[in-house]
Structure 1
Amino acid sequence: MKSVNKLTASLLAGLFLLLFAGASTGQTQPSVLAIRGAKIYTLAGAPIEKGNIILRDGRIAAVGADAAIPAGAEIVDGAGLEVYPGLFDSSSQLGLTEIDSVAGTVDNAEMGDFNPQLNAATAIHPASEHIPVSRETGITHTVVMPGGGMIPGQATAIHLAGWTLEEMLVRKSVGLVLNWPQISTRSFDFATFSFKEKPYTDVKREQEKKVQELTDFFDRARHYQQAVEKGSAASYERDLKLEALIPVLKGELPVIVIAERAREIKGASEFCDKQKIRMILAGGTESYKVKDLLRQKNIPVILGPTLALPANEDDPYDRQFTLPAELQAAGIQFAISSQSISFMRRLPEYAGVAQAYGLSHDDALKAVTLNPAQIFGLSKDFGTIETGKIGNLIVTTGDPLEIRTVVRYLFINGRLTSTDNKHRQLYEKYRKRP
């Protein structure tokens, strides 16, 4: 009898835990939520001074000053608050690394130069502590890029909420990452803890060799594509690496080229032209030097953090601060990213700095909302507050680009999502110290 009672108690306890887990993940949340009486910055038109947003089954069902709130909807009072689209970090390694110095928590790269068949999605850790930390500043979705080698793999778009990758996934592949070979004569030797110089001719020769290897790899992929499309399965041996390049060669998937210097950007653009593939430039520290080329080729740019030191010793101190405004004036589409994990939370500040140095407020907001969504072909679901789009929203005390602003409520996939995180917990713990 005692064993039966123990079994019954265990089953009841297990049921309670399952119910509690369901509530904590938002599974028991109502299918209809409403944000009432807030100032709404839709980024698709003029701000709505006092309006409502209706969220149903994960998407925006209605938005406007006269949007009717359905009976039974859970209401979030937006009086005195502002609503914006959730922020989009267009280049991060979120979920791939937890602690840099602990090798067991680092899974951002594989061995070898050519790994196009790999996808960042397979290595993302949904329970990473960095995810809720990043949510606190209003980031609701991001593109995660793998690292290492010339072609480290494919980038993945995810939501910043979910127990599993399947719950987090926006799109498994948004682009193939390509680290363009650099020409750098200076390197740091950790053995002597000093910089070493190499002859330019030697470095140039090494760079050209890598570019040729890249060209040969794409040529092999084209031959493989022809065999796949015109031959029978028995006439060729399956190659997952070459197979992964076929969507790129067809123009279905862009190549995200990571390049910083002007000559690297020019070389990458020439390569993409010859291969007839779509290019997205990531990094672009010296993109201001090739503005005409980027505009002519219609190449969008994913910039890194604006809070960065000048790349060259003779650059002005505000070189990176003013870069977004320069690209905007030149008619080049761009986004601002963190290119980080632990500093991903500072994405709003990076956009705010760009505004302080010449970018308009609307354009600064779009650089971390609408622009990245358009660059990656996700603007049907993200970037603005419009009927039919996914309900990734932030409700704030003011401008999200201001460091003093607090995100009061955050919605991901139309669900009210917690902004609690380890940073806040440690703050609360130690502020109570005697």
Structure 2
Amino acid sequence: MRCGIVVLFLAAFSVGLCEEKVRLIVAPFDGSTEEAKMAGAALAETIILTLRENAKSAIVYDHERLLWALNRALLRYATLDDAGKATRLANTLGANYVLTGRVVPKNGKIKVTCHLHKCGKETKTVVTLTTEGDFEEVAKYVVSKAAENLRLDLSSKEPILPVGKEHILTYGKVLVCKRDPDRYAEAADAVSALLKAGEKGAPARFHSGWLLLQRALVADREGEDEKAARLVDVAEKAFVAATRAGGARTYVARAFNSLGLLAMDERHWADAEQRFGQAIATDGNIADAHRNIGAVYRKLRRYKKAVEHLKKAAEIAPNDAAIYNDLGSTLTDAACELLEHKKKDEAKKELEKACEAYKKALALDAEMVEAAGGLALALDLLEKKKEALKYYRLYEKLGGDDGDLLDRLDALEQELK
């Protein structure tokens, strides 16, 4: 393998590198051809899985969380190999580092040039790497150099491939097509090809279940209830198979999380709690699993545990407004229960924390109607009526339609005339 490395260390970076927890996005590596994009997506995925498994001190966002961020940042269809898009992606997830790259297939091997960006008030390129070789050699080199520049201790640098290297391009096609809803059928065909070729590990089975659920959603929207139910049943079997298949633990955890969501949909709370717990035990850095089990505990009125998991979710994904909204709602419910037991001082503390959470949600998403309504109610319960009125009005302006909240808005406007 031929390797070249250009290191662009910055004085400010070298001083502060170890002072904050690493939150790393490995964006899908781009390319000028479909084959290059497939290789780039699979390479980025391999780097993600390897670092998630071996860099215990860092948060490395998995592919499914990355899909959410790409959609949220309006980058689903964009190339991701420049600093500007890296910054948008980092701001969406709350990451402080983004690894981007570009792949060129060359004589049966691949050449990759990638950039590690430090994202903050300004985005700075920390290091540029260029290397060429076979897939595993390139993956190992990039993992090693990224870890070196991020000061990460790795338990192993051996690449964790999602599938056998003979099928890596087909797997890359799955990832490329999952970014575009119009290409979900192509993604499903690629997954079927992987399964027929004997790739029965957790990644392929998880993607199979995920794509089946997308088909179920379409069938449901079109009023084909029986078809949707059949597809959900098959998807559930795929997720169960993924949990038993072994392989990349992130996808085992994602499969457990999906089973938990299906249990929640059926209001099977004990089963949902178990499944989300299994997801967290398998891979504790999936924010969605912590948020989801928090929702279950809130439903079961186990507010302390709900808050614990929602705070963990916010630690992993600090720029996800929905997590803070859930935290605010849970704290408000806890306060209402305390008020029922005449514990006014304790309730006040919970309501004040709820207000902080709702305000954080609105700072991240100024149009989150649920947060506006929740904040108005929490302030109202604290008897901060003028401030509550401000957020009741915002709730109405954003299109909130809860009758009780709108009635309270009318009553408060009359009271404060």
- Normalization by structure 2: what TM-score? 0.32
Give the helix-richer structure, 1 or 2: 2
- Normalization by structure 1: what TM-score? 0.31
Q: Which has the higher contact order (CA 8 A, sep 6+)?
A: 1
